[in-house]
């Protein structure tokens, strides 16, 4: 029988070899990659194949950049199980998983995907990402498995990706650490179990496959002596199976969870105020630890034995902290003053120190060549801070170049501060900064290029609007919301965008939204939650009333702008237009009028009205009216807003929103000072002294 199986496998592999005789970027279940053959990405940048490290005869399957003369391996599959000969074969097995076989029978590595594919395809993308996807799935961006989830799988040869994807946050992969697992981007081991939990499969956990998650050390029973352990500095778990209630403080929230044996955990859904309660009734998934001092507190139900252990650990930790903190503080203060005096004595400053920016620096001639000397034909848009051009680098990578105008008001140090700020923002719904250039009077920012332009190109045009059905529009709403949540609560600094609008939301090849243009963004440190400026800069129609009149801005200012944006996405209309000439109403006023008359469905864009989820659209309109309330405290936070969009619980009733925008929209006669796209209908204000 063994001989028959061996002959069958041999015939199968021989048949595959006949089909797979030329360099390709993907294989199916009838093909394979043997030792000596390889996959090459379509653009020729990356190659996957078997190799041996220096001074070793062991064979590994890896990915390397073909454009670097000295082979630099960026990812290895069988890093823990090398093959001792050249019998290695990469193929897709009967379950739809990619596997490496040794001697045609021994499995040394597998993707271990739990999802079954109808037509599994293993493909090497131009980014250097090896993905397993279903050929029957119309969404090319949906992967069953991808190597970018396992960037720590190297041989110590190169733990840094050669492609731009090096800066991506691995914790952005939904559910990477499974139930009760916590993801930390800067930790060598990305996933760890919550205290009181252990990996379900220690063997796969050690191999870097975390999605099975964790289980309790001790089974939880419904008993009166159960309690809660507090975990701090977290991004809260996915709320898909959660429950949220406005106006409930933490004492009431704990009592609510304690009284229900099915309640697993509770937290305040508002990071700034204890005025909203979130409860979880199933496994806690997609938890992330934040290292910037931000994040929220999560209380997880635990048996009494775990509570005693946790209290003992707290006592020990407190003793260690008391013993060490004075020594550490003394050393840090000494080091700070020594370094400070050294810099003063040497006359060091940050000016001209490009290496401090930790981003690729591009020569002006390189960017000029990429944009055809900033040709008018490559111009994407123009605003008050400069002009944006499309370009292509020597390796074929497309870029967007923002060329700041000389009268933008930014000096070299201010420009560097902005670059440092943007470089630290890493999220899938924010446009990625690839590099910069400071040379003479020129200041350039180099971004990833978005092929599908900006959101306003679609939603304000009947023909283009048909390309965005409701499902795509709702995904765009959620994506922008997650991007703002990251800026407000999850990034290293609390950031207020101050100019969120349709033209500043760019769309990638899969129509995923990316928030762009941080030229007017402001950062808050520590416990600061709002600021005041006498130089109000923004776009009329999107600015919150307290910002437009008094120069006061906060995270709730961005919430107001997001509400306007969401209303425009739903309606396909611009907020500054007049939609009831007899009442002189702008879009917000028109939406409120229809809401009062229970005719909100009349607001829905005709492009998708007949094919949308009506209850979902009406819920978005409801949330929009909560976002554009007159007082900032009446508006929800972004974390609460996301819960509102994804939950079926009752929403609070909105008050009459601010109609300030409609009164001012006709008064502005100045052209746009802040614009990243070619839209000619946008106009902004730059000076409006607070009264």
Q: Which are the catalytic amino acids? A: 499
Pair 490, 295: CB distance under 8 Å: yes
Instruction: Assign 178 to helix, strand or coil.
Output: coil
What gap in Å lies between CA 457 and CA 129, rounded to an integer?
A: 30
Q: What single DSSP character describes residue 4?
A: H
What gap in Å lies between CA 234 and CA 225, rounded to an integer?
A: 26
What gap in Å lies between CA 393 and CA 403, rounded to an integer?
A: 16
DSSP line for 606-624: TTTGGGS-HHHHHHHHHHH
DSSP line for 91-106: EE-TTS-EEEEETTTE
**Six-digit token pair at 497?**
């965008």
Q: How many CA atoms lie within 13 A of 638 on its CB side?
A: 27
Residues in CB range of 157: below 8 A, 6 or more apart: 53, 72, 73
Pair 434, 164: CB distance under 8 Å: yes
Pair 406, 330: CB distance under 8 Å: no
* Per-residue H/E/C for 137-167: CCCCCCCCEEHHHHCCCCCCCCCCCCCHHHH
What gap in Å lies between CA 682 and CA 385, rounded to an integer?
A: 14
Q: Which residue has the tokens 């797979």?
A: 20
What gap in Å lies between CA 295 and CA 491, rounded to an integer?
A: 9
What gap in Å lies between CA 473 and CA 456, rounded to an integer?
A: 12
CA angle 646, 651, 656 (to 5 degrees): 125
Helix (H) or strand (E) holding 485: helix 470-485
Which segments of 422-568 are extended strands (E)? 433-439, 442-448, 494-496, 505-507, 513-515, 522-524, 530-532, 538-539, 552-554
CA dist list (Å): 195 to 310, 490, 669: 8, 22, 60
Q: What single DSSP character describes residue 170?
A: G
Helix (H) or strand (E) holding 206: helix 202-206
Closest CA to 287 of 179, 363, 394: 179
What gap in Å lies between CA 328 and CA 321, rounded to an integer?
A: 10
What gap in Å lies between CA 233 and CA 191, rounded to an integer?
A: 15
Pair 16, 90: CB distance under 8 Å: no
With b for 16 or more beta-carbon neighbours within 10 A and e for fewer, the 659-683 pattern comes to bbbbebbeeeeeebbbbbbbbeebb
What gap in Å lies between CA 654 and CA 156, rounded to an integer?
A: 57
CA dist list (Å): 368 to 375, 433, 435: 9, 18, 14
Residues in CB range of 331: below 8 A, 6 or more apart: none
Closest CA to 402 of 352, 354, 460, 450: 450
Q: How many CB atoms lie within 10 A of CB 38?
A: 20
Residues in CB range of 665: below 8 A, 6 or more apart: 540, 541, 575, 576, 586
């Amino acid at each position: 029988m063994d001989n028959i199986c061996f002959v069958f496998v041999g015939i199968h592999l021989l048949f595959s070899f006949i089909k797979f005789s030329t360099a390709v970027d993907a294989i199916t279940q009838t093909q394979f990659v043997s030792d000596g053959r390889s996959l090459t990405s379509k653009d020729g940048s990356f190659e996957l194949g078997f190799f041996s490290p220096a001074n070793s005869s062991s064979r590994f399957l890896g990915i390397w950049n073909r454009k670097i003369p000295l082979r630099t391996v960026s990812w290895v599959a069988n890093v823990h199980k090398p093959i001792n000969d050249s019998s290695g074969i990469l193929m897709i097995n009967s379950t739809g998983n990619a596997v490496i076989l040794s001697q045609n029978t021994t499995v040394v590595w597998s993707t271990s995907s739990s999802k079954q594919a109808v037509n599994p395809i293993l493909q090497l993308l131009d980014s250097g990402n090896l993905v397993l996807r279903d050929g029957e799935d119309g969404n090319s961006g949906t992967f069953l498995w991808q190597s970018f989830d396992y960037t720590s799988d190297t041989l110590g040869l190169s733990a840094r990706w050669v492609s731009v994807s090096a800066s991506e946050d691995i914790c952005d992969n939904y559910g990477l650490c499974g139930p009760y697992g916590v993801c930390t981007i800067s930790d060598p081991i990305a996933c760890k179990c919550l205290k009181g939990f252990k990996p379900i499969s220690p063997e796969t956990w050690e191999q870097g496959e975390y999605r099975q998650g964790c289980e309790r050390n001790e089974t939880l029973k419904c008993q009166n002596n159960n309690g809660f352990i507090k975990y701090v500095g977290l991004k809260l778990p996915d709320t898909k199976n959660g429950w949220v209630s406005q106006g409930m403080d933490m004492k009431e929230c704990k009592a609510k969870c304690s009284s229900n044996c099915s309640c697993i955990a509770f937290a305040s859904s508002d990071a700034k105020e204890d005025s909203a309660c979130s409860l979880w009734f199933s496994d806690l998934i997609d938890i992330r630890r934040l290292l910037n001092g931000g994040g929220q507190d999560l209380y997880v139900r635990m048996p009494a034995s775990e509570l005693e252990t946790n209290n003992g650990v707290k006592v020990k930790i407190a003793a260690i902290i008391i013993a060490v903190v004075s020594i550490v503080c003394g050393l840090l203060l000494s080091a700070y003053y020594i370094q400070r005096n050294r810099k003063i004595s040497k006359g060091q400053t940050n000016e001209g120190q490009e290496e401090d920016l930790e981003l690729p620096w591009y020569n002006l001639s390189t960017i000029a060549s990429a944009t055809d000397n900033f040709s008018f034909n490559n111009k994407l848009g123009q605003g008050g801070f400069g002009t944006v051009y499309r370009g292509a680098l020597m390796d074929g990578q497309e870029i967007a170049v923002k060329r700041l105008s000389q009268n933008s008001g930014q000096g070299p140090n201010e420009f560097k501060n902005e670059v440092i700020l943007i470089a630290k923002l890493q999220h899938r719904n924010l446009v990625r900064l690839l590099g910069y250039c400071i040379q003479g009077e020129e200041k350039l920012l180099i971004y990833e290029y978005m092929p599908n332009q900006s959101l306003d190109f679609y939603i304000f045009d009947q023909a283009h609007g048909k390309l965005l059905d409701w499902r795509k529009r709702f995904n765009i709403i959620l994506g922008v919301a997650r991007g703002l949540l990251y800026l407000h609560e999850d990034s290293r600094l609390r950031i207020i965008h101050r100019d969120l609008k349709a033209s500043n939301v760019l769309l990638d090849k899969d129509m995923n939204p990316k928030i762009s243009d941080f030229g007017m963004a402001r950062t808050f440190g520590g416990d600061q939650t709002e600021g005041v400026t006498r130089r109000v800069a923004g776009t009329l129609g999107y600015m919150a009333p307290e910002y437009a009149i008094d120069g006061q801005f906060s995270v709730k200012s961005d919430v107001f702008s997001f509400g306007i944006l969401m209303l425009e996405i739903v309606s396909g209309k611009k907020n500054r237009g007049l939609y009831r000439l007899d009442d002189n109403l702008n879009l917000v006023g028109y939406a409120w009028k229809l809401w009062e008359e229970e005719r909100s469905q009349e607001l829905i864009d005709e492009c998708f009205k007949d094919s949308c989820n009506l209850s979902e659209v009406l819920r978005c309109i409801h949330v929009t009216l909560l976002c554009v309330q007159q007082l900032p405290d009446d508006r929800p936070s972004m974390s609460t807003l996301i819960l509102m969009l994804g939950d079926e619980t009752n929403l609070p009733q909105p008050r009459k929103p601010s109609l300030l925008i409609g009164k001012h929209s006709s008064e502005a006669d100045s052209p746009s000072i802040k614009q990243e796209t070619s839209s000619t209908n946008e106009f902004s204000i730059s000076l409006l002294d607070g009264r």
